[in-house]
Structure formats: C-alpha cells, structure tokens
Amino acid sequence: MSERLCPRDEADVVEAVRWAVSNARTLDVAGSGSKAPLGRHIQTDATLELKGLSGVTLYEPEELVLSAKAGTSVAEIEGLVAASKQMLAFEPMDFGPLLGVAPGGGTLGGLIACNLAGPRRPSAGAARDHALGVRAVSGRAEAFKAGGRVVKNVTGYDLPRGLSGSYGTLAAFTELTIKVLPRPETVETLLVLGLDDAAAAGVMSAAVGSYYDVSGAAHAPAELAARIPAVAGAGVAVTALRLEGVKPSIVHRRGKLEAMLRAHGTLSFLDADASRAFWQGVRDVEPFAFPVGGALDTAPAIWRVSVAPMAGPAVGAALREIGARCLYDWAGGLVWVEVPGTEPHSARVRAAVAGAGGGHATLIRASAAARAREEVFQPLDPITGALIARMKNGFDPGRVLSPGRMYAGV
Amino acid sequence: MSGLVMPAPRADVLARRARIIADLRAIVPGEGVIDTEAEMRPFESDGVTAYRQLPLVVVLPSTTEQVSKVLAYANANGIPVVPRGAGTSLSGGALPLEDGILLGMGKFNRILDIDFANRTVVAQPGVTNLGITTAVAHEGFYYAPDPSSQIACTIGGNVGENSGGVHCLKYGLTTNNVLGVEMVLITGEVIRLGGKHLDSGGLDLLGLIVGSEGLLGVVTEVTVRILKKPETARAVLLGFPSSEAAGACVAAIIAAGIIPGGMEMMDKMMVHAAEAFLGAGYPLDVEALLIVELDGPEAEVNHLIDRVAEIGNGLGCMTLRASTSEEERVAFWAGRKAAFPAVGRISPDYLCMDGTIPRKALPLVLKRMEEMSEKYGLRCGNVFHAGDGNLHPLICYDANTPGELEKAEAFGADILLLCVEVGGVLTGEHGVGVEKRDLMPSMFNEIDLAHQERLKCAFDPEALLNPGKVFPVLHRCAELGRMHVSGGKLPFPDLPRF
C-alpha cells in the first residue's frame, strides 16, 4: 500500500528523497493531491505530500512579487493579493470541476508544476511566464535554487520556467516566487450570438488583433453555451470578447468593437458580475464538469488541445464524426474536447491536431486504465525524447520522483 | 583582456587547423569559411570590446543542413563552437575561442512566414529585431521586446540572451514572446519546439532554450508572436528633487494599479549628459528624471496620464510635462535612448552594468554607488528601467590610463555584488557571458550551479558549445552524473503516517 510522507520543511523533503533513493523507492510528488488524476497513471511506493510546507513568506504589492512555500493553497494566495487589488494575471484554472474534485484545493507548487493558465493566456501568459524563482529538491536529495525575486533576470539558465510543467518529475518544489499584477478596475464582455465555429474564429481573430485590448476570446457552440449559466439564456452559440481596465477605456473600446462586429451577428453584453462568472466558467471548463466524487472511469474523456488559433475549428470539425463536442478559448487556440464514452480515441484526436497544422493534445480526463495505457501528453519525437531522458538522468538518476507521470520510463 | 581566464585551447585542435578548415569548406562552400587573420578580425569581439580573441576559423552557414553538419563535425572531432548573431552582446557571449569555430548566423536573414490572423511571424535567426517589426508594421503590428540595439541585434541573439528592452514590464521579455524554435543540437540532430500554438505539450524545453546563451544548441528558426501596436502612446516627464522621491513615485504608480508601457529613471549626471548631447529639453535642476509612457486606447491613455500627474504632484515633483504630440513623445525618449552615446561624449570609455534590484532598494543602492564612485575615483551615471528594477550604471574610465580598466571592472563587480546583496540579481537582460561569469558564485552555491550544469550535460555532454561562458568552472559531466546518497532511514518518524 502506498505510504504518505508529509514533510514539514525543506530539510524533511531532502530526507524523504534521500530515503527513497537509498531504498530504491518511488515517490508520487503531490501538493494537496487535487490534481492526482492528471497525467499518466502511475503507482509509487509512497506519496510525497507537500501541503505541509505552507505559508506566504514574502508579499510586496508595490514590487509586484510574492513568495510562498510550495504547499500554500492557491485560494489563500488569491485572497491575499485580491485584498491589495492585485491578481495572478495568468488566471490559473481550477481542475477540480473537470476532475470531479472539490474546487479550490490546489497549491502553488501544483499550479507551477502543471503550468496552469486561463482565458488571459494569449495576452498575459501562463504560470511559466510568472514564475520568477524556485527552491526545490531534486532526485539527488539535494536542495537547490534558481531564478530570483525580480522580474528581469537572465542570470543562469531559466530553470523556474523549465521546471514549470514538469509535473514533479525533475524536482519537488519547496518554495516559489511569482510575479503578481494589478487587477483590472472593471470588466465587461461583448457577445456575438449565433456564429458557427469557423465564423467565430474569424471574429475572435479580428477582435484580438484589433487596437482594443481584448483580454479573453472564447466560443461556445449552442449546446455548450446552454451549460454556462451566465449565457445559458441566449439559446444560441456565444462568442465572447472580454474587455478589462478602467471604465472610460472599456466604454471606448466596446463602442469601437461593436461598430467593427455589428455586421457579423447579433450583439449582446455581460456586465461586470456576469462577466466574472462567465469567464470563470470558461476557465474551469464548466460545460464538461463532472460531479465531485464521481467515478472518473465512467466520465466522458476530455482532451486539452493547443493549436494555432485559426486552426481550432478544424480540430472540432475533424472530431465531429466521432461525436465530440468542443469549447474554444484563446481565440480558438485552446480547444477543450469532450469525447463521447470513456474511450479517449487518442489516434483520432492526435490525427486531428496534426491535420490542423500541429500543436499538442493532452488527455486530461480518462480512466486510470486509459491513462496507464495511452500517451497522455503529446508524444515526443525520438531525439527530443532522448534529450528529456538525459535531463531526467541529471536531475533524478534514480527515477524516484513521479517516474512515468509524463512519459513512460522518465 | 584584463584577467579573464578562458579554457585552455586544445593543442590537438590547433595543430589540426588546416585539416579542419579544409573539412569545413567541404560542408560550407565558397565564402562561407573565413580563415585569414584580416578577414577574421571583425569577429574577434562583440559589444564588450575590452575582450578580444581571434577564433580558429569563422564559418557562415546558410542552411540548417550546413549547421547540422558543422556541429556534427565539431562534435566528432572535439572542436568548440561559439555561435554568434550580430555580435551586439554586452556580456561577451560571442567572444571567440582560439581553438573554436565561430559560427556566424548572419546569412539566415529571411522572414519565412507572416500570419496576421494567428498573429505570428516565423523568421530565420539572423533577421534583426527591428526587421520583424518593420515587416509587419504596414498592418499595424509590431514585435514587443525592444532592446536598445534593436536596429542591429538579431532575433536569434535575442533568443540566446532572453533580451529585454524598455517595454518589458508590460509586454515581457523575449521568452514571453517566443512561441517556437528549430534548433540544432551539438550532435547535428535537429529538433523543433513549439510552433504557432501556445505552451508546450509537456516539459517546457523552449523556456530553457531562451536565455541559454548559446550553450545548449544553435537556433535556426524562430516563431514569435506579434501584437497590434497600441492606438496611442503618450509620455510624461517628471522631475524630482531626489531619487527617493522619484522612486516613491514609481512605487505609487504601480500601487495605483497602473502598468505603464515604459517607465525609466535617469540620474542628474545622465540628464545633463543627454541634454548636452542632443538638447532633448530635459529640466537641468532635478536630481532624478522619470519618463513614464502610457499606451493603449486614447481614452485610457488620457485618463491614466491625469492619474500619473496627480501622483507625481502629490509626491513633490518639480517639473511635469505630458507629451501632446507624437513628435514630443519621441523627443522625450530621444535623450534616454541616446544615454550611452551621450556618456561616450563626456568620457573616452565606459562600462555598462546590468544588475536588477528590488525597486525599494534603489535609494540605498544609489547611495552606496556614490561611495564606490569616490573610492575608485571614477564617475558613474545611472539609467534605470524603473518599472522592473533593472539598473544600468555607466562607469566612466579611460582605457589609455594604465590600470583604469581594471579599476572600472572592480567597481562594476562591486555594484553587481551589491545588487545581489539587496535581493537582486547579476544581470537583468545582458546575460552572464564572460563578463559576469566569475560572479555567479555570489548568487548560486555549488549545488545550484551543478543543477544548471546538469542541464548543459543533457544537451552537450562534452561542453563543446560556447565553453568558458556563464559557468565559472566547467565540471566534467561524468563527475556531475555521480550520485552520493546514503542514509536509508525512514524520514521524520515522529510524523503520523497513513
């Protein structure tokens, strides 16, 4: 049976990894476990649960910087910065609703390890773009640091970015420093109603490529829009364009966008509160949510696909034959795909991505059996695969840190 | 060269020079291989002219296939390779090696794809930074990172150094604006990372490549995102009686939730130097001058200009002028952009430093730098990317006065150590190169550096790519690969287990 190791500080983490290396045991590196069903399904000898390393260690709003222990809850951090009218600008999604896990459970370490992002990704970046510094313990049972606490820093390799999205396979984070930014004063959303996917991609491209600072561009076909309460009443497909900032600017930009888009479809509008609810729904992929505690083995499979924005609809079209439903974010560049039934249809999904000009597809929700059997992340070419295996050799030669979570044998 | 120790040249490589040149000519025909001293001379240094070294040979490939063959050949024959873009590095990143091939990427100068609908440009690495903006400007787009050398520096060099510019706070560094690369490994193998889509599907190798200073591979193609040029931009000049007051204004602007497109500070010496150089109309009675640029839709810019003015007035600014025309905005910036040549006019030589500090430490750092200036007997002016804490002290010296370069270098090292002491870093945007290499242990301990070097080992186990840069001591990868772990006790037995 898998054991839980609950370190209280960095020295404990070093000890835990030392134990694992010396005894050839494997560790599942976790924060609170809120994203445990993400990635390849692996079995380890113990879980290294980092949520005991908790607490904000530095927050200087005027310096736009925050440091916290890796196990600090994201909800706590978001609450703290909100009190200073700031935010994590990359708008990290909460995987809870998709994975049938209670929302709000994630930790800062998990957020960086999984490189989370949200609808503001095209303009504000992902977690990787906001990670300034890390302290971590590698699979050599050594604590190390990289990066710093300032935004502009090119001293040495950019390991904070390189470890973003490493799912605990190279090192266990113990403390992280991230950039925070001011919250926009207010928000509104312009809706274009009744567009098909391809027309929506065109409208989103024009809007995002305009002078009017659109900080979110998403499209929900009618059937999925009906599952997002803020726009469910529309009864048709909804293409949403978010405007954030100071009020006079939003009024100006909305007017310009309305003039630009009037010919494309019926326009509608969401106020600040409705906007916030709507974009949180898009961020957390509300139309594909699964009941908390539900058996994931019975849930329809979900893919997260990233392609060039204009290529999004081609992915949707190619997968329509198998009855897939698609929600589009990032002006079309992010496609959330729900495949009917529990079979992930990997070959079909990967072919659709390749056919749309390339990108990547990650199997987000599937049974443990499927996640043990299928490639969850975008398959690597042999040269890149060998390179990543050599990186693993450098950071975790004993293969003790979440081996196989991303790629078999690594 | 002052006291800089580079890896000892490999005698066997030097002895085989004629053979190596003949072999390289078979890969890159015609004028692509340069071996005479006179023709190699222009390549002997980069932007740090204090360091000079003729390479073994200069190779100027024009295809990815040639790059691949040159690297595979170098790898098979144990020959170091130094990649070079336009040679504008301010940290000696492209300093040649006596026993090394200097791989100039200047012939990769084509833009391959412009995609306005997806807002991307695919360019070869030798295209200049400004060249990308120029290619998309007719549709109102631009490429955001704008290092001061943007007219000359190349996008490949920008990827190598993770270059910044004055607009980083709002628009990010190179790493936040690069979507993909094609890269050749030292083995000659070619990999592609990223593309027109966002994020990597797994490990973020692209994030590691950007800023790796030519130590991990040679980039042969770059995909960047382009942005719509802001509808309006206006700048405000604010003069303050002290750098503390100017610093307080910067903090207050950010605390008010305003992220300006650019926010620069100049000290009195730099204001006077710039004014004497081109008469930008700067106030000469101030101790510190701020240039704050707001960009975006017109209604927003006008609204924010008023708020910045209110903040400045509340903090005792002595002069306040907002630009009312594009010409005036450009004039406000002209003095700042000419800061380096302006110093060149009042001093025969200068060293440009590049530390970053937490902004709140600015008054302390400025005071300590004044003390150092007295101690070394050298003048020092300051320009400061105030929004992100990136400091550029310019140390004036005269290379013809014996010992002054060494004094200036010691002064510069003291400044960078001070940056680290107050919680900052050695380099914000110029890179470590050779210039800051030996200061790395002030920021990182041996274990930290060993983890960085292991990344290098995964890409280039024989350390043939740009050796002598970034790391003060190059360990052998075999040595770094060993693991000494003992102590098999079950950890922290006092904790409850489940």
The predicted model gives B308-324 an average pLDDT of 96
Cα–Cα distance, A26 to B9 (Å, whole number):
44
CA distance, residue B197 to nearest chain A CA (Å)? 4
Q: Are the Cβ atoms of B452 and A159 closer than 8 angstroms? A: yes
Q: Are the Cβ atoms of B491 and A15 closer than 8 angstroms? A: yes
Q: Identify the domain boundary among A234, A257, A286.
A: A286
3-state secondary structure of A247: helix
Segment B382-413, tens digit of pLDDT:
999 998 999 999 999 999 999 999 999 999 99
> What's the N-to-C CA distance of chain A in angstroms?
22
Segment A195-237, tens digit of pLDDT:
999 999 999 999 999 999 999 999 999 999 999 999 999 999 9
- Residues counted in chain B: 498
Neighbours of B417 (CB within 10 A): 14
Of chain A, the percentage scoring pLDDT greater than 90 comes to 97
Mutate to test the interface with A, among B175, B178, B191, B199 (most CBs of A within 10 A): B199
Residue B19 class from Cβ within 10 Å (0-12 exposed, 13-18 middle, 19+ buried)?
exposed
Segment A239-268, tens digit of pLDDT:
999 999 999 999 999 999 999 999 999 999
| DSSP code of residue A50 | G
B299 touching chain A per CB within 8 A: yes
| A130 and A205 co-located in one domain | no
| A171 and A59 co-located in one domain | yes
Evaluate whether A278 touches A329 at the Cβ level (below 8 Å): no
Of A103, A110, A91, the C-alpha closest to A36 is: A110
Cα–Cα distance, A98 to A264 (Å, whole number):
32
B198 touching chain A per CB within 8 A: yes
| A147 and A197 co-located in one domain | no
Cα–Cα distance, A323 to B292 (Å, whole number):
53
Q: Are the Cβ atoms of A394 and B458 closer than 8 angstroms? A: yes
| A45 and A97 co-located in one domain | yes
ipTM value for the complex:
0.97
Q: Which two tokens stand for residue B207?
A: 């994030």
Structural domain including A405 reads 1-183+380-410
Q: How confident is the model at residue B492 (pLDDT cuts 50, 70, 90)?
A: low
| A248 and A341 co-located in one domain | no
Domain count across chain A:
3
* Per-residue confidence (pLDDT) for residue A85, from 0 to 100: 96
| A13 and A161 co-located in one domain | yes
Q: Are the Cβ atoms of B201 and A164 closer than 8 angstroms? A: no
Cα–Cα distance, B356 to B427 (Å, whole number):
6
Evaluate whether B442 touches B420 at the Cβ level (below 8 Å): yes
| A119 and A27 co-located in one domain | yes
Beta-bridge partners for A359: A307
**Is the pLDDT confidence value at B65 over 60?**
yes
* Per-residue confidence (pLDDT) for residue B490, from 0 to 100: 66
- Cα→Cα distances A64→A40, A83, A177, A273, Å: 35, 14, 11, 26
B489 touching chain A per CB within 8 A: yes
CATH number at residue A320: 3.30.70.100
Segment B139-197, tens digit of pLDDT:
999 999 999 889 999 999 999 999 998 888 899 999 999 999 999 999 999 999 999 99
Q: How confident is the model at residue A101 (pLDDT cuts 50, 70, 90)?
A: very high
Can you say whether the dihedral through the CA atoms of A244, A245, A246, A248 is positive or negative? negative
CATH number at residue A206: 3.30.70.2190
Q: Are the Cβ atoms of A249 and B296 closer than 8 angstroms? A: yes
| A140 and A75 co-located in one domain | yes
The mean predicted confidence, pLDDT, of chain B is 94
CATH number at residue A103: 3.30.465.10
| DSSP code of residue B437 | G
Q: Are the Cβ atoms of A158 and B119 closer than 8 angstroms? A: no
Q: CA B291, B293, B298: angle at the middle one, nearest 5?
A: 150
Contacts of A308 in chain B (CB under 8 A): 115, 118, 120, 195-197
Contacts of A361 in chain B (CB under 8 A): 201
Q: Are the Cβ atoms of B428 and A153 closer than 8 angstroms? A: yes
**Is the pLDDT confidence value at B317 over 50?**
yes
CA A181 to chain centre: 18
Evaluate whether B195 touches A359 at the Cβ level (below 8 Å): yes
Q: Which residue of A has its CA nearest to B454?
A: A394
| A175 and A32 co-located in one domain | yes
Evaluate whether A402 touches A44 at the Cβ level (below 8 Å): yes
Q: Identify the domain boundary among A251, A286, A321.
A: A286
CA distance, residue A233 to nearest chain B CA (Å)? 31
Segment B92-105, tens digit of pLDDT:
999 999 999 999 99
* Per-residue confidence (pLDDT) for residue B473, from 0 to 100: 85
* Per-residue confidence (pLDDT) for residue B496, from 0 to 100: 46
CA distance, residue A24 to nearest chain B CA (Å)? 10
| A43 and A58 co-located in one domain | yes
Give the helix/strand (H/E) hosting A91: none
Q: How confident is the model at residue B279 (pLDDT cuts 50, 70, 90)?
A: confident
User: Which residues 134-153 of B have a C-beta within 8 angstroms of A?
Assistant: 140-141
| A42 and A108 co-located in one domain | yes
Mutate to test the interface with A, among B90, B115, B118 (most CBs of A within 10 A): B118
| A130 and A25 co-located in one domain | yes
